[in-house]
Amino acid sequence: MLEKGLKYESVETVCDANTAVAAGSGDLPVFATPAMVALMENAAMMAVAGNLPEGATTVGTQISVSHVKASPAGARITASAELVEVDGRRLVFAVRAWDESGTIGEGSHTRFVVDRERFMSKL
């Protein structure tokens, strides 16, 4: 059962593979905005994964975040997601990311519950 308050935290360390240089989103060796977004989405997906019906998953449809601080190589990044709204199949999460020195980004993320087979059959 999906209820408000479900939470999860995803963690990764800044390395060459998740920098702005590697992502092509910038030319500095700092944690990339696309990597931060992916970590936030992962946290949201995982927050509800254990509470979905058999054969269901969630897909991201919208994300609105700010990335307010750079994180250097070696920094430990944690992204959290908390389910704050359930409207049928639509799920809204408050997302936040931080490193050892504080918040690096925050915002909201929307996902929809879908049947895996039906979703893939439409592609």
Over the stretch 70-102, which tens digit does the pLDDT of each residue have? 999 999 999 999 999 999 999 999 999 999 999
- 6 touches 84 (CB < 8 A): no
Integer angstrom CA distances of residue 41 from 69, 88, 93, 106: 19, 19, 9, 12
- DSSP character for 88? T
Looking at the whole model, is its pTM more than 0.95?
yes
Is pLDDT above 90 for 6?
A: yes
Is pLDDT above 90 for 1?
A: no
Is pLDDT above 90 for 55?
A: yes
